[in-house]
Amino acid sequence: MKDQPVSPQPRDIDGNPVTPGLPMAMLAEITHRCPLACPYCSNPLELVRAQGEMPAEDWARVFRQAADLGVLQVHVSGGEPGVRRDLAQIVEAARDAGLYVNLITSGIGITRERLEELDRAGVDHVQLSLQGIRPDMADRISGHPGSWDKKMGFAAWVAEIGFPLTINAVVHRQNMERLPDMIDLAETLGARRIEVATVQFHGWADLNRKALMPTREQAAFARAVVNESRLRLRGRMVIDYVPADHHAIYPKACMGGWGSTGLNVSPDGTVLPCHAAPSIKWMRFENVRERSLSDIWHLSESFNAFRGTEWMPEPCRSCERKTVDFGGCRCQAMALAGDARATDPVCSKSPLHAGLVAQAEEDATGDTAEFIYRRIRK
Amino acid sequence: MTVQPAIPRPATAQSRPQPTARPAPLIGSDDIPYLPRGVRLADDRVRGIRVLQAPERALQLDPIGDAILSELDGNRSMAAIVSDLAARYHAPRDQIAGDVRDFLTGLIERRMVFLRKQP
């Protein structure tokens, strides 16, 4: 890495000067390979193949650079991170760099012996995904026969070894009625936390809108279940909740603001402000194999594009919430408004909001029979 | 005492304040508070602050929060911890007891501090 004599002034997409903060968390998608085929997978439609994945020593360098940059926690994720045989080596490198290691896993393909190896390597916390309740539902949604039984076995090992456990339950039209059972299951499994996340309609989920879009009644039901469960489980289990944003008044502050506190590294080393960012086709993303993480964070066009508030058009520009939700999700603006700069159409102030709500209501009456499962394209 | 909230993730799930209908967990003076596995104090060398590292969360600690959590050795009871802090900071015991209780209650509700009953 050469020292640059003068750092250029970071500028947003319109050339306004911006001041980058420091990232706290990094999502390390060490592989896109996965035994599951969930129809709402957050990986991009164009998946990185095995031969494109960064080796463990590259990840070790990225973790050191991340820690030097201010990152405190890494989410080691995928795909299914357990697909990589050098997972323990990758985890160990992250701990050596001083990072707190969250393992984000489907629980499929990690044996008891490997989980013990990951314990020795320094995994701090395990987050286990849940696609549904009982084998019929869970296996159909994940596209993986036997997934339910394997997950329940994995969860038992997690408890025996003593890792703190978070259950990540992704909810949508086809499983939302079972949310109370998922919360009960998380408690039974000894989870300290459950994250109830309504599907976000990017990438694969967008292809499956008609199969996954919750109804307005379901969204209200989920909210009520979460509220009731929080009261009942106070001090026993924390419930984090990502509501159905198509039924919301204001958008979510995705990533806590673009390029403000988090970053993603793809299996091939591409560094993204958000995992869905590749859906912004005109944006160029840099690779940590070619440039340092610090330079990419501070100086790249992609990270600076939507920092601050000067780039915002109306109605965001004059909105008092512009530093609360930052205009919502750039990728959703791209997908729904055809313009990554636009106000996120899930915001009730967006001129596209009424059309979006009408479309969501229509999608929610869609045919639920068929999923387009996530697959690596041949 | 903790300010920096969530580790952000896409469309982040934010912990909302818990509704207040169910009473807060009570900490008895004989109870032993401790940091469970997966929760630890750490230096943030880049920002020059102390943090509490927990599952998918890092909380910024002020010196008081850091002092309280540094007392949690898994052996001493609330009463012993409060006495030691009161002596060290030359502060009224009742005041320290209230501060420690409020601070730890918040973390217990977030599952970042656990309680063990005296054997």
- In this complex, the residue of B18, B47, B108 whose CB is nearest that of residue A70 is B47
Query: For residue B101, is it within any domain?
Result: yes
pLDDT of residue A5: 56
Query: For residue B73, is it within any domain?
Result: yes
A235: nearest CA partner in chain B: B109
Query: For residue B54, is it within any domain?
Result: yes
Q: Tell me what percent of the residues of chain A surpass a pLDDT of 90.
A: 86
A41 assigned binding-site residue: yes
Residue A200 neighbours by CB distance under 10 Å: 23
Is the pLDDT at A366 greater than 80? The verdict is no
Question: What is the average per-residue pLDDT within A92-96?
Answer: 98
Query: For residue B38, is it within any domain?
Result: yes
CB contact burial A273-286 (16+ within 10 A = b; e otherwise):
bbbbbbbbeebebb
User: What distances in angstroms separate CA A18 from CA A57, A154, A264, A272, A286, one per listed residue?
Assistant: 33, 45, 20, 18, 19
Q: For chain B, what is the domain count?
A: 1
Domain boundaries, chain A: 23-377
A23-377 homologous superfamily? Aldolase class I (3.20.20.70)
Q: What is the DSSP letter of A178?
A: G
Query: For residue B14, is it within any domain?
Result: no
Query: For residue B39, is it within any domain?
Result: yes
The partner residues of A25 in beta bridges, in order of sequence, read A73, A262
What is the DSSP code string of chain B? -B---BPP-TT--BPPPPPSSSPPPP--TT-EEEPPTT-EEEEETTTTEEEEEETTEEEEE-HHHHHHHHT--SSS-HHHHHHHHHHHHT--HHHHHHHHHHHHHHHHHTTSSEEE---
pLDDT confidence bin for A132, thresholds 50/70/90: very high
pTM greater than 0.80 (yes/no)? yes
Q: Give the residue from A7, A22, A32, A19 showing the smallest Cα distance to A266.
A: A32
A110 touches chain B (CB under 8 A): no
Phi-psi map region of B38: left, alpha, beta (phi>0 left; psi -120 to 50 alpha): left
Q: What is the ipTM of this complex?
A: 0.92
pLDDT of residue B20: 52
Identify the domain containing residue B60 by its residue range.
31-112
Q: State the smallest CA–CA distance between residue A234 and chain B in angstroms.
A: 6
pLDDT of residue A6: 64
A331 assigned binding-site residue: no
pLDDT of residue A266: 97
Instruction: Please list the rounded mean pLDDT of every run of 10 residues in chain B (119 residues).
Output: 39 46 79 98 97 97 96 96 95 94 96 90
In this structure, chain B runs to a length of 119
Query: For residue B10, is it within any domain?
Result: no
Higher pLDDT, B15 or A215: A215
Residue-wise pLDDT tens digits, A294-317:
999 999 999 999 999 999 999 999
pLDDT of residue B117: 87
Residue-wise pLDDT tens digits, A238-247:
999 999 888 8
pLDDT of residue A376: 77
Phi-psi map region of A38: left, alpha, beta (phi>0 left; psi -120 to 50 alpha): beta
- In this complex, the residue of B8, B56, B108 whose CB is nearest that of residue A255 is B8
Is the pLDDT at A79 greater than 90? The verdict is yes
Q: Would you call the peptide bond into A78 cis, given omega within 30 degrees of 0 as the criterion?
A: no
What are the backbone angles phi and psi of residue B114, rounded to the nearest 5°? -110, 160
Residue to test with chain B: of A24, A170, A202, A231, most B Cβ within 10 A: A24
**For position B48, which CATH number holds?**
1.10.10.1150
Taken in order A68, A71, A74, A77, the sign of the CA dihedral is negative
Question: Are B12 and A255 in contact (CB < 8 Å)?
Answer: yes
pLDDT confidence bin for A370, thresholds 50/70/90: confident
